[in-house]
Amino acid sequence: MPSCKKEIVTKDPVNDKQQAKLEVKCDNCLIGYGMPDQYRAFDQAGVSPVSYAYTYSDGYDLRVRITAVDHDQDINLTIYDTSGKAIYTNKTTQSTEGFWEVSVPLTTNN
C-alpha cells in the first residue's frame, strides 16, 4: 500500500504579512500608528477622511494614537482588514490635552 506524507505548512509570523488600511477623519491632528516592527506618524489637516496603509502579522495589536491640534475636535477612526471590511470603528471628541489611543488585535480571521 502506498504511503503518503502529510506536508505541514507553518506560518512564519515575521515574513507572512498582510496589508490593510486605516482611515482617520479630523480637522487637524497628529496620527501615529504601528506594531512592534513598524511605526509611522503623519500630520493631517482637513476634515476629509484620509487612508493610511499598514502591514501586519497575525497575533499583533495595531496601536493608533491620535492627538488633536489647535482645538478640541471630533475624530473618527476606522480600521479595515485585508478584504476591506471594517474591523474597528469609533469616534470621540478629543481635547488638545492628551491623546486618543486605540489598540486593536489583528488576525487574518477578523
Question: What is the average pLDDT across 2-18?
Answer: 57
Is a pLDDT exceeding 50 seen at residue 84?
Answer: yes
- Residue 9 pLDDT class (50, 70, 90 cuts): very low
Q: Which residues contact 11 (CB under 8 A, 6 or more apart)?
A: 58
The domain spans of the chain are 18-105
The number of angstroms, rounded, from the C-alpha of 9 to the middle of its chain's C-alpha atoms is 27
Please provide the average confidence, as pLDDT, over all residues in the chain. Answer: 83
Q: Which three cell numbers stand for residue 92?
A: 470621540
Bridge pairing between strands 38-45 and 28-35:
antiparallel
For residue 91, the model assigns a pLDDT of: 96
